[in-house]
């Protein structure tokens, strides 16, 4: 329960207006989820009512007076909230949802003010502590304020062209100062496309491996070099683990064949930089958008994809890096395994709804490390068997040299085995690629097992 400080910032009218609009229109609820979290509501009853609505949205359940009443009853909170009069009062005050975002912003603003007040109380206590250095205290204070004002839903897509502009300028500074409707998405990796026939619309495709095997590089290569160049359909990349700028560095290296370390450290020559600039022009022409919200939830994911689709007739491909870093967006307590199951279902639902393929990267469990035979198996999929169940294809990535003690391995190209372990619409099997470490790029090896 929220402690009332008398004049504690709040706008209960705006909270009720938001709830009424969300019940009145599921589309309005999708917009509000972009702005508000349940904890942004001051009134506890409003908060738990909103939590129920968000959970219904996550399940893609119909939302109206009757279904919401049933949901609240099932949760045992219908009478606590005030029963039918409570819901009726919320809905009857709504004649249009046109102002729902304005009302949601009012709720958000008051929530931020409350958090700033709480942060201020903690700030005073921190300032009196003499067991920490001034620097440590300042850092904690800065974090308190940052956490208080952070809007976790504010991150949106940025076109690679917008990202590349500042990055190329930065790289140039380092140089001058040394120190028809497409039916599927083809990866352009010949053997992979032969196995799965391209990534099909509405499909969920899992690329799974242990850390540092090259999952992100492989997915980026598919986005960067795959697809129909003439149609140039939008590609959405949700990078939960890595900032967008780091992805751009990798793309520049793969395109220009200038070593990634040289690009990130600025240790390249004029000839290299010319190739980097040429690569930037090529990448800019690609219709790639990156969202690097590190707090992305399944609800945020669905909402952002839906909103993007309303402005773009078709989406060519969606990539999520990576699945286990997502949260469901609800406060369920069944455990992480159930949460991952919910996320997996949501990814599949978005693929079907937008009629485009979704590629989700996934971590494998440590079980592979315990075996003499290190090659991964479907049973190694981490957290939930639902991933395998929901997926149309599952690709398991493995590099033998990862487990080698040879200290020069990091300087060598590496043979990678990609096993298509599940393929709902075709055959399974293994093919090989060469991972060019210095360029974070995979190239065709032409071997099939």
pTM greater than the 0.85 cutoff: no
Domain edges within the chain: 1-153, 158-448
Q: Is the peptide bond before 322 cis (omega within 30 degrees of 0)?
A: yes
Return the CATH number of 1-153, one of 1.10.860.10, 1.10.3720.10, 3.40.50.10490, 2.60.40.3500.
1.10.860.10
Strand duo 358-363 + 204-209: pairing: parallel
Distance CA 127, CA 133 (A): 10
Q: Say whether 417 sits in a helix, a strand or coil.
A: strand
Q: Are 237 and 158 in contact (CB under 8 A)?
A: no
Domain 158-448, CATH 3.40.50.300 — does that match?
Answer: yes
Please choose, from the candidates 347, 437, 403, the residue with its C-alpha nearest in 3D space to the C-alpha of residue 210. 403
State the DSSP string of 20-88.
HHHHH-HHHHHHHHTT--GGG-SSHHHHHHHHHHHHHHHTT---SHHHHHHHHHHTT-HHHHTHHHHHH
For residue 2, what pLDDT is reported? 42
Query: Given this model, what pLDDT does residue 152 score?
Result: 47
For the record, the structure tokens of 18 come out as 């938001």
Contact 55, 64 (CB under 8 A): no
Residues 6+ away with beta carbon under 8 Å from 402 = 210, 212, 213, 409, 414
Q: State how far the Cα of 97 lies from the Cα of 104, in Å rounded to an integer.
A: 11
- State the CB neighbour count (10 A cutoff) for residue 369: 11
Give me the average pLDDT of each 10-residue run along the chain (449 residues): 60 90 86 85 89 83 87 87 86 80 89 82 73 64 63 61 69 64 78 88 90 88 88 90 89 88 83 88 90 84 83 86 78 68 85 90 79 77 72 88 61 79 86 86 68
The pairing of strands 393-398 and 414-423 is: antiparallel
For residues 244 and 289, what is the distance between their CA atoms, to the nearest angstrom? 10
pLDDT for res 115? 82
């Amino acid at each position: 329960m929220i402690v009332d400080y008398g004049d504690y910032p709040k706008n209960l009218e705006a909270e009720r207006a938001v709830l009424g609009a969300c019940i009145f229109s599921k589309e309005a609820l999708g917009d509000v989820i972009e702005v508000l979290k349940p904890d942004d509501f001051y009134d506890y009853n409003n908060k738990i009512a909103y939590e129920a609505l968000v959970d219904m949205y996550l399940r893609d359940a119909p939302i109206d007076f009757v279904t919401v009443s049933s949901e609240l009853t099932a949760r045992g909170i219908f009478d606590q909230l005030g029963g039918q009069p409570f819901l009726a009062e919320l809905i009857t005050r709504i004649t249009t949802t046109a102002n729902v975002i304005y009302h949601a912003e009012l709720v958000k603003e008051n929530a931020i003010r409350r958090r700033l007040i709480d942060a201020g109380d903690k700030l005073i206590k921190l300032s009196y502590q003499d067991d920490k250095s001034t620097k440590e205290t300042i850092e904690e204070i800065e974090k308190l304020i940052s956490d208080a004002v952070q809007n976790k839903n504010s991150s949106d897509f940025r076109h690679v062209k917008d990202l590349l502009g500042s990055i190329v300028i930065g790289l140039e500074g380092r140089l001058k100062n040394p120190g028809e409707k497409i039916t599927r998405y083809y990866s352009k990796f010949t053997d992979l496309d032969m196995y799965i026939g391209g990534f099909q619309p509405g499909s969920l495709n899992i690329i799974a491996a242990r850390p540092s095997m090259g999952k992100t590089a492989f997915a980026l290569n598919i986005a960067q070099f795959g697809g129909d160049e003439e149609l140039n359909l939008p590609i959405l990349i949700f990078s939960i683990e890595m900032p967008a700028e780091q992805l751009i560095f990798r793309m520049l290296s793969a395109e220009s064949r200038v070593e990634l370390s040289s690009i990130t450290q600025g240790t390249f020559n004029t000839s290299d930089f010319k190739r980097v600039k040429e690569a930037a022009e090529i990448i800019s022409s690609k219709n790639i958008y990156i969202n690097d919200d590190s707090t992305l939830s399944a609800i945020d994911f669905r909402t952002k994809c839906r909103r993007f689709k309303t402005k773009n007739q078709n989406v060519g491909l969606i990539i999520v890096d990576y699945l286990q870093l997502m949260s469901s967006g609800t406060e369920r307590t069944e455990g992480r395994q159930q949460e991952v199951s919910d996320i997996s279902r949501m990814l599949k639902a978005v693929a079907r709804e937008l009629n485009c393929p979704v590629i989700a990267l996934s971590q494998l469990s440590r079980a592979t490390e315990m075996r003499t035979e290190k090659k991964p198996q479907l049973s190694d999929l981490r957290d939930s068997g639902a991933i395998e169940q929901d997926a149309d294809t599952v690709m398991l990535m493995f590099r033998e040299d990862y487990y080698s003690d040879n200290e020069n391995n990091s300087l060598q190209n590496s043979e990678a085995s990609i096993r298509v372990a599940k393929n709902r619409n075709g055959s399974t099997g293994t093919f090989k690629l060469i991972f060019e470490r210095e360029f974070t790029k995979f190239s065709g090896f032409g071997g099939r097992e």
